[in-house]
Amino acid sequence: MPRGAFRGGIHPPENKSLTSGLPIVPAQQPSKVYVLLHTTSCPLNPLVAKGDQVLKGQKLADTDQKFGVPVHSPVSGKVAGISTVRTANGHDDTAIIVESDGNDTLHESCVPVKNPLSLSRDEIIAAIREAGIVGMGGAEFPTHIKLAVPPSAKVDTLLLNGAECEPYLTADHRLMLERPQDVVAGAQILMRALDVRKCVIAIEDNKPDAVQALTKEAASVPEIEVMAVRTKYPQGAEKQLIKSTLGREVPPRCLPFHVGVVVNNVGTAVAVADKFYRGLPLVERVVTITGSAAAKPANLLAKIGTTAAELVEQCGGVKGELGKVIFGGPMMGQAVFSLDVPTSKGTSGILLMTAEEARQREVLPCIRCGRCVDACPMRLEPAILHQWAEQQFWAEADAYHACDCIECGVCAFECPSKRPLVQAIRHAKFEIGRLRKAAKERGAK
């Protein structure tokens, strides 16, 4: 197979030209930020109280649980309260609310690390955790966990994901174009943390300027190869990208490290460079404000925890009748019920769709055309999985590998009958997980 080739996939309209030519600009200082305390699966314990003065980069909450990462204040100002807020996924979470004083005064802990490449693996991984760094592609998986691969795993390659295959989003594109030196610097630190001598930076070939900028930047680092891969959704999914760049197949229920690879987003590499070379924990990120209902699309460098409403407002607000708001891209993003929700570390974009674009299409019966099967990059049978889910046949759905579904949305996009395939499979995955957990608990008794 040529580079960038994997089974299935689709070519949805890219719609990236709305923002791909727009440089990253700093967002206006938010009036307040909502720092969420449950960003990974571990709740965090606050280290500050209402009324406290805090500085930018100061640690606000932490946990001693393995998968947890601390959070830091994106602004200097005063803690206005610690209370429950509604988040983008519709759940309630606790947030530390910080009112900005507009000064962005840095906390004393925010100092660059001298010669980071001389640190040990453990020291680098500990510093990455301490900076609150998680996967910037959207999943927010803790980076220190990804890097702490089991000693038995023979990891030889760091794969930096710059595919950005989701339509509309251009945050990673602009980062690669404007901060290639930080992508490369972050990659070198991540390679040191993994003790590997090979890094591939994979970029879809619809971003030739980013490929050129990174190729130039990495020219003096022979361990880093910049690879243009075919533009095809979901090229940026981990397993597909590993296949298309390295030709390695990640077996079902296995992780990339089982085939010797650790995948990180290019935005994560920049966050790592920010920590080591500028002393900054993860408190801001690039957010693409885009869509037909966005008055002035933009790529904003935003403080994490700013509400979507504040970011959209400074881009001229909404144009026409707003039909739907999505955090992330249209294929895998999260529809949000209101703009009054805070952004998080994984918010790569805010997509504003018109009422016409968001109109629900009528769901028709399955005509057994097989298009969903042909397009599924995981070789699943979405129509049958949907059937099992409708009938609540969870054991059958499990036997048909529902849990291997990466929820890429390709099947639903292809379906001429507009069947809600992904929702049904997601439901099946949830029920299978619940049943497995119950069985495990019964076994433990």
Report how far residue 12's alpha carbon sits from residue 438's, in angstroms, rounded to the nearest whole number.
40
Q: Which is nearer to ligand SF4, 108 or 362 (CB)?
A: 362
Q: Which is nearer to ligand SF4, 258 or 401 (CB)?
A: 401
For residue 288, the minimal CB distance to ligand SF4 (Å) is 23
For residue 371, the minimal CB distance to ligand SF4 (Å) is 4
Q: What is the dihedral of CA 128, 130, 134, 136, to 10 degrees?
A: -70
Q: Which is nearer to ligand SF4, 266 or 380 (CB)?
A: 380
For residue 245, the minimal CB distance to ligand SF4 (Å) is 19
Binding site for ligand SF4 (CB under 6 A): 366-372, 376, 378, 380, 382-383, 405-411, 414-417, 419, 421-422, 425
For residue 426, the minimal CB distance to ligand SF4 (Å) is 9
Q: Which is nearer to ligand SF4, 285 or 419 (CB)?
A: 419
For residue 374, the minimal CB distance to ligand SF4 (Å) is 9
For residue 194, the minimal CB distance to ligand SF4 (Å) is 28
Q: Which is nearer to ligand SF4, 253 or 368 (CB)?
A: 368
Q: Which is nearer to ligand SF4, 297 or 382 (CB)?
A: 382
